[in-house]
Every structure is written in structure tokens, then in C-alpha cells.
Amino acid sequence: MSGGDKIDFEIRPNPAPVSATDRAALLANPGFGRVFTDHMVTIRYAEGKGWYDARVEARGPIPMDPASAVLHYAQEIFEGMKAYRTAGGGVTMFRPYANAARFNTSAARMAMPSLPEETFVDSLHRLIEIDREWIPDGADGSLYLRPFMFASEVFLGVRPANEYLYSVIASPVGAYFSGGVKPVTVWVSPDYTRAAPGGTGAAKCGGNYAASLAAQAEAFEHGCEQVVFLDAVERRYVDELGGMNVFFVYDDGSIATPPLTGTILPGITRESVLTLASAAGHRVEERPVAFDEWQADAASGRLREVFACGTAAVITPIGRVRFPDGEFAVAGGEPGTVTMALRQRLVDLQRGKAADPHNWVHHVL
């Protein structure tokens, strides 16, 4: 299969799925990323053959040779999105074709084959259909979907692999941060950077996240929930958090976020926030924001709110900022009205509770 050709999935139901009773117990408090559904999707790729052997099958270990290319050269990409229950008993996803497009952008940067967007979205449908009962109820509940692809060819040599495995797994989740929506404290890393110009910052690959872990651990040591990275060239301008984009709200109602210059992940939630904020009447700018500007504007009161956004956490207010020389609060450290209004608007859209003028909501069932 190649191009836009349709691929057929072989369905192999799990012969020993989790019982309804045990599933209900797990869904009562799933946490985030610790509980998984009964099935997964797999599709294989070989140079000269294209995509083949598409399956929905029982979730389980993936056999891997110790010389598999991904283990040595890190050719790997992934995506993250959610499926939601609606009040009418249906299931929605939010902008899955945007995830499909970004998946292929990441693939191109990592010298990996593209996956037709229709196949990407169809693979999500197939998994949601068979594991529908795993979608939690409740305001914060959703089914987190994790499509990923890695180099599976067995060889040692620095070149793009000729064989790949694409897979999708699913995890029922609650809120990303425990305790619900409340302002988080962030640590501005003085030593670590996330990505440099010309690197892989705009690709959603595992190496970017591995590179953030030492800085994230440093943030935890300073009592912070997340780390903020500055640019790799001047160590002056805000790039993004360890796993989220960042926005600044000012006293005149304007909103700013760092521009996409190749070092920042082009977040789908980020793009959605830009559109929603503009529609709500805010003047929106994509411009460099220096850390000293952040500190000065917080002190003067010009800066009223700061929030982070991403698929996992949706929109999360930032209340305090710590760095080696001290710390400061943003507007007293309380959630801002603009932040919470945008968050509610986004959540209502995702769950099919609001009008959708942008055709972002994808109805699965």
C-alpha cells in the first residue's frame, strides 16, 4: 500500500479481555498513562513494499531483535490525542487530521516513511470501536490515544532504516495534573535547552523528551511541576515547557506566544488556542518573549496571566516561576479569567458541547 490507497485491517479480538467488573474498577481512578485497553493497532512497512499487514489485535509485548535500528539510532516518532464520550452517547476526537499531518512532518524530519492520513485516522477509529467501553465517564475522563512508529529493521549502520512498525495503543485517563485545574509552579532551567535551530525541536520524537528529563528532574527538586526552556542560542527567550506550549496574557487583553522557528513543537492545542483567542476578540501575537520581560511585566502588573497548553493537560494556568536567583508570582498566582474561559471553550468543543464553526470535532461513533 502507498499513497492514498485504502488498507484493510484484520481484526483479531483479544481472547482474554479485562472483565467488565475489573475494567470498572480501573476506570474509577485511572490516573494518567498507567492503565491500558485490551487492544492495539499494528501496521508494518518495508521499502519497496509499502504499508502492509494491518491488524487490530490483543495488546501485548512487541518482539524486538537487539539489533533493531530504533534501539541504536532512535528513529522514532509519536503523537498524542484523545477520544471523548459525548452527552448523547457518542464518541468524538479533536482534530485528528491535524495530528496525522504533524505525524508525517515528524516522519519526514526523521527520514521515515509517511503514512497516509486516512490510514492514520482509520487506525484510531478501529481501536476506539473495539475498545469503546474503556472510555471513562466524567468531566476529566478521556481515552488517550498514542500512535507511534519506529525503525524495526535489524541492522547496525547509520542510515535510514528500510523497515518500520506503526502502532496505536490507548489509555483511559483522568486529569493530567492531580488535584484538578490549579496554577502550577514552573522552573526556568539555567543550564539545559530543549532544541537548537536546525535540530528536531519541531518533530514529535522521543529524543526531544529524553533530552528534557534531566531538566524536569531539576524542576522537581525545586518544588516545581514543569520546566521552562529558554532558547539555545542566546539563553534569553522563552521556547516552551517540557511538554507544553506557553502563552502570556496582558492587561490590554492581548495574548502572546513564542513563534514557531523550528525549535518549538507546533502544538495542535496551541494552534487551536490562537484561533479561539482571536475569535474571542483578543489581539494575538506570535513573537519572542524574553525571560527578563516576563519577570518585569509580572512585577509591573502588565502581565496578568500565563498558561501552558497541550493535549494531555489541555490548558493549565502558571502561577509561580522559580529560577536560580529567586521566584515571582503572576497576578498573585491565581487562575486568570482569560485562561479559564479559553480552557472551558476548548473543553466544550472537544466534548461536543459547543458549536463547532471550525469543523474541528471528529465524530467517531
CATH number of 10-173: 3.30.470.10
pLDDT of residue 181: 79
Catalytic residue (choose from 82, 182, 204, 353): 204
Could you report the per-residue pLDDT of 226-255, keeping only the tens digit for each? 999 999 999 999 999 998 999 999 999 999
pTM for the model stands at 0.95
pLDDT of residue 4: 47
Three-state SS letters, 92-137:
EEECHHHHHHHHHHHHHHCCCCCCCHHHHHHHHHHHHHHCHHHCCC
Cell numbers of 195, please?
532544541
With cut-offs at 50, 70 and 90, classify the pLDDT of residue 87.
Answer: confident
Neighbours of 29 (CB within 10 A): 10
Q: Is 204 a catalytic residue?
A: yes
Q: Which residue has the higher pLDDT, 180 or 279?
A: 279
| 43-52, 117-126, 169-178, 342-351: least confident range | 169-178
pLDDT of residue 342: 97
> For the chain, how many residues are written?
365
Which fold is adopted by the domain 184-351?
D-amino Acid Aminotransferase; Chain A, domain 2 (3.20.10)
The helix (H) or strand (E) run that includes residue 306 is strand 303-310
Cα separation of the two ends of the chain = 27
Question: Which residue type sits at 195?
Answer: A
Could you report the per-residue pLDDT of 122-169, keeping only the tens digit for each? 999 999 999 999 999 888 899 999 999 999 999 999 999 999 999 999
pLDDT of residue 333: 80
Domains 10-173 and 184-351 share a fold: no
Residue boundaries of the structural domains of the chain: 10-173, 184-351
What whole-number distance in Å separates Cα of residue 154 and Cα of residue 84?
38
Residue 220 has pLDDT above 60, yes or no: yes
The average pLDDT across 324-332 equals 92
